[in-house]
Structure 1
Amino acid sequence: MSVSGLTHPHPVSPSLTRAWLTPLELGGLGAVWGASFMFMRIAAPAFGPLPLVELRLALGALVLMPFLWRARSSFGPGLWPKLALVGVLNSAIPFALFAWAARRAPAGVGAITNSMAVLFTALVAFLFYGERIGVKRAVALLTGFVGVVVLASGKAAGESIAWAAAAGTLAAFLYGIGANMVRRHLTGLPAAAVAAATLSCSALLMLPFAIATWPAEPIGVRPWLAAASLGMVCTGFAYAVYYRLIQRIGAARAVSVTYLVPLFAVAWAWLLLDEPLTPSMLIAGTLILGSVALGQPPAARKAT
């Protein structure tokens, strides 16, 4: 999941909120987004990547639809092509890549590569929009890439996870592109409403592909429950909580949830799916999360 793609135009001072609420919500959000990789591991083999992504997009959009309905006057006809493009780059394709990877590698692999989205956002801004990247972020990117190489060199159950790591890294890069597009073309709009609009567009665009690849065999209750949880809880509900956090404490502090997602993903998969934490995952996770911490601006690092 991308946690850096949308911002709120009017952050509210965190002093207005009880001190315990923010850590509780950040921890809960990290746990929910970490669980999304476990749910993909359960549901992807039964549904296949594209049908699972369709369910995730549609259910997530359904949960967030009240936000879009409330702000519908701000979404003119000329805005929808941009929303559709952002939806494809920031939701549909990354979700499909992570679902594809979930069939081939432990849940922690997707979660670890997902955390690179924060660094890729800075890289895309540097490559395509002329923003300065700075020495620290350059070092952070290099460290993160080393972490990806270490991760890709590992094995799970005796099989290489290189392609799964590559898919997750590409998804994180697309999140970086989507985040920059949102910042430059969709600023000033309510973030949760933008999320509902982009998810809805993605769901409509993915629908023919999901129908064409829908599995012929019956799908069990467990994959259905995992898919429903992935869409309604890990996408719709989690996005709503995240945008509420951005509104209350600002994007720099809210993005600190990035550090928690891989930890929870590995923990959930270990507890409930009996997936081990391999040495390559441990080393790669340390390198990548360290690079994300190093690449944060000073205000964000102080907030975490």
Structure 2
Amino acid sequence: MTTPSLVRPVVPTLSGAWLTFLELGLLGALWGSSFMFMRIAAPDFGPLPLVAVRLVLGALVLLPLLLRARAALTPSHWPKLALVGTLNAAVPFALFAWAAQRVPAGISAISNSMTVLFTALVAFLFYGERIGPRRGVALVVGFAGVVVLASGKIEGASPGLGVAAALTAAFFYGISANLVRRHLQGVPAGAVAAATLGCAALLTLPFAIATWPAQPIRGVSWLSAAALGMLCTGLGYAMYYRLIQRIGASRAVTVTYLLPLFGVAWAWLLLGEPVTLSMAVAGALILGSVALSQRQSA
């Protein structure tokens, strides 16, 4: 997820407020389910083929947005869009798919919540933005949650490598959010989403073809990949940018709070994955740190 160009938020009416609440909930459920779908499909597809299917389907869903805003894209935009597509889609999607083969979906969903904190950390390290005491404390608390998550045990095994992959993916999200904010200002948000997914799809296709599994892929994995691409990626991105246009990026990003809750819930309900004590403690620490970092100064 990236933060697109700034737009003036529309203050919702009472009915609009309820619509926003429902849209945030639906988007949280969609994006939270993506970790479950990856958990189902990744063992059959492998990371790169799954990512390619996801990106192609997501880009096709968003193609109308790109066509509608194509006049706003100049030749100088495309290298930046390709870079953002690599850092915001191709690489993190592959890392999450790799992690899905090794750790429960809930762990990946909790790790993804670090995106907000990584965005602030990248802005501090590379762009000289001030973090401030509150965000500094939030980073410490968030990383404490990461330590708890990585040190837990799952069926006698440590999830350390899977957590590391998911956290690296979240860090790439943080990098790309800063790139979009600084280098794609003024480009329609829907066009950014569609173009970056399309560029990422073109990038990953050769690797996906080279590593395509020799054995037949189960029908349930194909259905999961289709849902991951069309619903979680295509429809999810469209809903996210619609929310940004209506209520502003700072409010739309609160969907981050819902992802681990839905991710853990879907995995528990439909995959039978247990909710361990380390997951609960880590989730509380990470979500608490994100909430603290997002609080506005009095």
- Confirm or deny a common fold (TM above 0.5): yes
Equivalence for 1:211: 209
Q: What are the residue-to-residue correspondences of 1:175-214 with 2, within 5 Å? A: 175-214=173-212
Do the aligned residues in 1 keep the contact of 2:7 with 2:248 (CA within 8 Å)?
no
Find 2:61's aligned residue among 53, 60, 63: 63
The correspondence for 2:93, drawn from 92, 95, 105, is: 95
Q: 1:63-142 counterparts in 2 under 5 A?
A: 63-142=61-140
- Give the Cα separation in 1 of the matches to 2:113 and 2:80: 25
* Structure-2-length-normalised TM-score: 0.97
TM superposition shift of 1:10 = 3.1
Number of equivalences: 298
C-alpha distance after superposition, 1:253-283 (max 9, x if no partner): 1111111110011110011000000111111
CA contact (8 A) 2:119 2:178 kept: yes
- Displacement after TM superposition at 1:18 (Å): 2.4
Task: Say if 2:117 is the partner of 1:144.
Answer: no
8 Å contact from structure 2 (residues 84, 180) kept in 1: yes
Cα distance in 1 for partners of 2:117, 2:77 equals: 28
2:276 to 275, 278, 286: 278
Shift of 1:13: 2.2
User: How far apart are the structure 2 equivalents of 1:8 and 1:54?
Assistant: 29
Matched residues in 1 for 2:134 and 2:224: separation?
Answer: 39
CA distance in 2 between counterparts of 1:15 and 1:161 reads 45
Secondary structure of the 1:20 match is helix
Counterpart contact for 1:5–1:176, Cα < 8 Å: no
Q: For 1:218-237, what aligned pairs fall within 5 Å after superposition?
A: 218-237=216-235
Equivalent residue, structure 1, for 2:35: 37
Tell me, in whole angstroms, the C-alpha distance in 1 between the residues paired with 2:60 and 2:257. 28
Q: CA deviation at 1:74?
A: 1.2
Q: Name the SS for the 2:215 alignment partner.
A: coil
Task: Give the structure-1-normalised TM-score.
Answer: 0.96
User: What does residue 161 of structure 1 align with?
Assistant: 159
Q: Retained in 2: the 8 A contact 1:58–1:200?
A: yes
Instruction: Please state how far the C-alpha of 1:16 moved relative to its aligned partner.
Output: 8.0
TM-superposed CA distance for 1:5, in Å, is 2.7
What's the secondary structure of 1:156's corresponding residue?
coil
The range that moved more, 7-16 or 169-178, is 7-16
User: Tell me, which stretches of 5 or more residues in structure 1 are unaligned?
Assistant: none
List gaps (5 residues or longer) in structure 2: none
2:172 paired residue number: 174
Match of 2:287 in 1: 289
Cα separation, 1, equivalents of 2:295 and 2:196: 28
Residue 267 of structure 1 aligns with which residue? 265
Considering only aligned residues, what root-mean-square deviation do their CA atoms show, in Å?
1.3
Q: 1:8 to 1:63 in 2, by over 3 A?
A: farther
Equivalent position to 1:239, from 237, 252, 260: 237
CA distance in 1: counterparts of 2:153 and 2:81, whole angstroms: 38
2:24 corresponds to: 26
Amino acid in the other structure paired with 1:157: E
Q: Quick one: distance in 2 between partners of 1:160 and 1:59?
A: 34
CA contact (8 A) 1:8 1:190 kept: no
Give me the whole-angstrom Cα distance separating, in 1, the residues matched to 2:13 and 2:185: 25
- Does the 8 Å CA contact 2:36/2:266 hold for their aligned counterparts? yes
Letter in 2 for 1:140: A
The separation in 2 between residues aligned to 1:161 and 1:23, in whole angstroms, is 34
Contact 1:9 1:187 in 2 (8 A): no
